[in-house]
Amino acid sequence: MEFRDYYKTLGVERSASEAAIKTAFRKLARKYHPDVNPNNKDAERKFKEINEAYQVIGDAEKRKKYDELGADWEHGVSQEEMRRRYARQQQAAGAGSGAGAGFESGGDFSDFFSQFFGGSGGGGFRTGSSRGFSGFDFGNDQPARGPDLRAEVGITLLEAMHGAKRRLDLTAEDRCPTCGGSGMVAHEEKQGKARVIRSAAPCPTCGGQGVIPARRTLEVSIPAGSADGTQLRLKGQGGHGSRADLNGDLFLTIHIEPHPVFTVLGRDLRCQLPVWDYEAALGAEITAPTIDGKISLKIPAGSQTGRVMRLRGRGVQARGKDPSGDLLFELKVLAPTDLTEEERALMEKLAASRKARKVPDPRSELMKS
């Protein structure tokens, strides 16, 4: 009796989640189904192997037993010992009868499966459904939620402060309306009051993918106080689900475009503010820019380059639990370069006066090293 690696059969890792196993099973089942591969013995054999693998590792209880069996097999435990062990487990759990039909032929499982898992299985294909492919829904008996979408939008700093509207053109993937997302279309014949499925083929609308590209245009409101990196969730504006209430969401990330005057630091705004050397030395009241206009700003006497003056609450405005940012002015002291003769004489007089007072050399600390 040959050990069967069901994980390898479905092409998944041993750590794969239930959802990943189900997805792999559906993909392979569509590929190897007999209706898609008529008179193909290799495809029929592969189809049975896929179904058998899914009935074991697609079932939590059977998967647990199988994982234990696989480890024991690799460590050389005898087949007879494994038979006794699993017989005891099944008796303790009240198991051993199997449940349901494998696929439409009624089972046809390997000796390995029959020996350790009771000879029949449940949870593979289900018949009697009009959805999906060739009468089977591939285990998809739950309403399908549409995929979430992600997009980015750039706004100006002024729009971040006051809010804006944007028209977005998005490309999404919607469930194919022809095949319902299965990727296959069944061909039926009526026999009396019953409808019998005779064959199936890849959906002509989606080419067997189950989804179709869809373009949509949205009018989006950007709320005032949006900082760089703010993410908005637009409920129901993602990919279409099997019902309107199952549509995915759109996650929109806001980016603030560079501004010629202000740098955005979180919710703070920073501006490098030039001042003349005499304004910095004597103190002055000057005009400084803001996002919405101008303000009067007092420069303290003796200010140096790099000094930061903070106006609280004048940055990007508050939004939700995030408080308003501040407006920061970093002073940059400038020396005049176009002096008149009179101005030069005054500067020379100032230099001589400071030298006579023996004002310390501002570079003296640099000479100590």
Bigger pLDDT: 217 or 243? 217
Residue 67, SS3 per DSSP: helix
Task: For residue 296, give the H/E element and its range.
Answer: strand 294-299
- How many Å apart are CA 111 and CA 120, to the nearest integer? 11
What CATH number should be reported for the domain whose range is 149-256? 2.60.260.20
**pLDDT above 70 for 196:** no
Tell me the mean pLDDT in the region 73-99.
47
Tokens of 121: 């299985």
- Per-residue pLDDT, 98: 38
**Domain-by-domain residue ranges, the chain?**
6-117, 149-256, 263-363
Per-residue pLDDT tens for 92-122? 545 443 333 333 333 456 656 655 555 444 4
Beta strand pairing call for 149-155 and 250-256: parallel
**pLDDT above 60 for 123:** no
Per-residue pLDDT tens for 24-67? 888 888 888 777 777 888 888 888 888 888 888 888 888 887 78
Contact 258, 265 (CB under 8 A): no
Per-residue pLDDT tens for 296-312? 999 999 999 999 999 99
Most confident option among 61-75, 76-90, 101-115, 218-232: 218-232
- What is the model's pTM? 0.52
- Per-residue pLDDT, 294: 94
Q: Judge whether 149-256 and 263-363 match in fold.
A: yes
Question: What average pLDDT does the chain have?
Answer: 79
Per-residue pLDDT tens for 157-189? 999 999 999 998 888 777 787 877 777 777 766
What CATH number should be reported for the domain whose range is 263-363? 2.60.260.20
- Per-residue pLDDT, 234: 92
What CATH number should be reported for the domain whose range is 6-117? 1.10.287.110
- Per-residue pLDDT, 69: 65
Closest CA to 184 of 169, 204, 198: 204
- pLDDT confidence band for 331 (50 / 70 / 90): very high
